[in-house]
Structure formats: structure tokens, C-alpha cells
Amino acid sequence: MSALFEPLTLRSLTIPHRAWMAPMCQYSAAPAGPQAGVPTDWHFAHYAARAAGGTGLILTEATAVSPEGRISIADVGLWNDTQTAAFRRIVDFLTEQGTVPGVQLAHAGRKASTDVPWRGGGPVGPEAHGWQTVGPSPLPFSPDHPAPRELTTQEIAEIVEQFAGAARRALAAGFRVAEIHGAHGYLIGEFLSPHANRRTDAYGGSFTNRSRFALEVVDAVRAVWPDELPLFFRISATDWLESDGWTVDDTVRFAAQLQEHGVDLLDVSSGGTASGVRIPTGPGYQVPFAARVRAETGLPVAAVGLITEAAQAEQIIASGEADAVLLGRELLRNPSWAQHAARELGARITVPDPYLRAA
């Protein structure tokens, strides 16, 4: 039996196996007008191909809870009913293929209002559909980024409610998993990290204060997300800074709090808070972070980062380092990775009827 292709049950939801798709922005939505943030035929084809390829769970790209929460001007969102209806079409198809549909809810904070990568990906202003960014403190992400406007406590409360509103729309669209994006230096991660958060009020300073916004978002989403469905949280386990940053010790401490607040799985990534940081990458380089959280808290975890081979993924699950693996660029290269991995590991997974002749 393959450990990778064993089902995983979280709350009352059973996910058919543990090879999942990580959120990856497609930068393919309209930047403005009535179709702003609305998933397109590109998004449908993109997600549908990975579902037909056997992926067990698909998490959407970072889906903004407000127009100002988008990473780029071409990101999708869930702040209105038009977006909800467009996602419903995608979700229905994924469900028909036996794939569990999940949504990643996000606010990009000081790293928002950028162009698409193939046009450089740099910050853009109102003349190119951009906007004023916000953050916990008026500190720019890099010399190339403008300083964000510091959020007031009232605005923080409004963003918490925006996360709850997006979760309600995600449920209406049929999603079965919600993930809160607290990683990669976006707004929630900015509040967590002392590198980006220099506030002196109840949302800054101590670990407890810097964690406050994240836990308020978790509580607001958990309050509207059904008890029978799981809630995930994505975190950067470390800022990769020698000082003045979020650390793996912080992640373990915070993971225990997340569990108490109703989070069912921690999606463990790293980095993104500080620019110009050298990260020692390599196959599975972030897996030890996930393994430590799982060992010290008992919270289920998903590992991500240069996981490309079936045997590698199998070892991560079989050894107990993680409960699932999230594949990113490898699934861009090979939408049917799960089917190929199952064949290599001697497992059987569902294949769409029109593709049975190739199984």
C-alpha cells in the first residue's frame, strides 16, 4: 500500500489521497471593471486539467478578500457575487472529478498592487489600475515598493470582516476547504513578523500582540465556516533572517494556538517577508519545518517546496514528516502528476472515463 495514496479525513471531510495542488497565482483576471477579480476560462481550464489528472485536493491561487487585497492587478477575488458564480462553475467540475476543491483567502498588504510577472511584476499606481497599499506599519517591502499606509484599528476590524465575507462566498460557491493565507510576507504574515510590524498598540510589539490579527481572522472565518469542514492556515515557518524576524520556534508556538482556535491543518512554507534574503533551497528543503510542527504539536501539516518525485513524496508521508504534500510548479509542468505517481507506487486512483483507455 502507498502512504501517499491513502485517504485523509479532517473533521467530516475525506480527501481521497495526499498529493495536493498548492496555490499558484495565474495573473489572468481582468484588472478593473465589472469582471475585475472574476475567474476566467483560463482558470477553469487550469484547475480542470489538474482535477482530471487525479489531484486529491486543489487549493486556488491567492483569492483576495477585497480589491485592495490582490497581489497583482490580475488576481482573482471573492468580494462579490459575480466572482462567486464564476468559482461555482470551477468547483462543480472539480467535485465531479472526485477532487476536493479548496480556496485560499488572502490579503496582500504592503506587497499588493503589482503588475503581472511577465511585465516585470513591479508595483503599479492608479494609472495602471493600481492602488494605495496598506500594512501594519508604514514600512515598504523593498526599495522598489512604495511605503504602505498604516492600518487603523477600525480598518483592521473591517479586513477581519472581509475575510469572513469571502469565506461565506466560498461556501456558497461549493468549496469544501478554506485556507487562510498567512505566509510569504502578505498582510497576515506582516503582522506576525517583527521585521514588518513596528506597531506600539495592541497589534504590535509582543508575540501575543503580533498574533492578534491572525487569530481574529481565524476566529471570524471559523465562525462562518461549517463545523464539519476543515480550515487550513498557510504560514512561513521562518523569515530566513538572522535577527528581527519570525522564527521556526515562533511557528511551533503559533501552531498550537491555531489548533486551539479551530485550524485543522498547517500548510508550512517559508520566506517572503523580507526582500533580498538568500534562501538555501533544495529538494524538500521546507519539509523539516512541517515535521517539527507535527512532532511538537500534533497538528496535521502539509509540506511544500521542491517536492517533485513520487518516491520523495511517498517517503515524506510514510515517515510521518507530513500528512500531505503540496505540489506547485511540478503540477504546472505535469497536470497528471498524481496519476503517474500512483502508477509508479503501485496505487490505484480514479481516472476520468474518457481517459480510461490510457490508464
3-state percent breakdown (helix, strand, coil) of the chain, nearest 5: 40, 15, 45
> Mind listing the pLDDT tens digit for each residue in 95-143?
999 999 999 999 999 999 999 999 999 999 999 999 999 999 999 999 9
pLDDT, residue 42, reads 98
pTM exceeding the 0.95 threshold for the entire prediction = yes
Contact 236, 189 (CB under 8 A): yes
pLDDT tens per residue across span 37-59: 999 999 999 999 999 999 999 99
How many C-beta atoms lie closer than 10 Å to residue 357's C-beta? 7
First-to-last CA distance in the chain?
19
In tens, the pLDDT along 296-312 reads 999 999 999 999 999 99
Is a pLDDT exceeding 90 seen at residue 289? yes
Give the model's confidence band at 359: pLDDT under 50 very low, under 70 low, under 90 confident, else very high.
confident
Q: What is the pLDDT of residue 1?
A: 86
Percent of the chain with pLDDT over 70: 100
Q: Which of 272, 266, 313 lies closest to 289 in space, CA to CA?
A: 266
pLDDT for the residue numbered 358: 85
What mean pLDDT, rounded, does the chain reach? 97
pLDDT for position 218: 98
Q: What is the pLDDT of residues 323-336, one digit of tens each?
A: 999 999 999 999 99
Instruction: Determine the pLDDT at residue 39.
Output: 98
Confidence (pLDDT) at 172: 98
Contact 39, 29 (CB under 8 A): yes
pLDDT tens-digit map of 220-266: 999 999 999 999 999 999 999 999 999 999 999 999 999 999 999 99
Whole-angstrom distance, CA of residue 131 vs CA of residue 123: 9
* Residue bearing the bigger pLDDT, 358 or 69: 69
pLDDT value, residue 74: 98
Q: What pairs with residue 234 in β-bridges?
A: 181, 267
**Cα atoms in the 13 Å half-sphere on the side-chain side of 164:** 15
In the chain, the domains with their CATH numbers are 8-358 (3.20.20.70)
Active site residue 186: yes
Element (H, E) at 303: strand 301-304
The single residue of 186, 203, 285, 355 carrying the catalytic annotation is 186
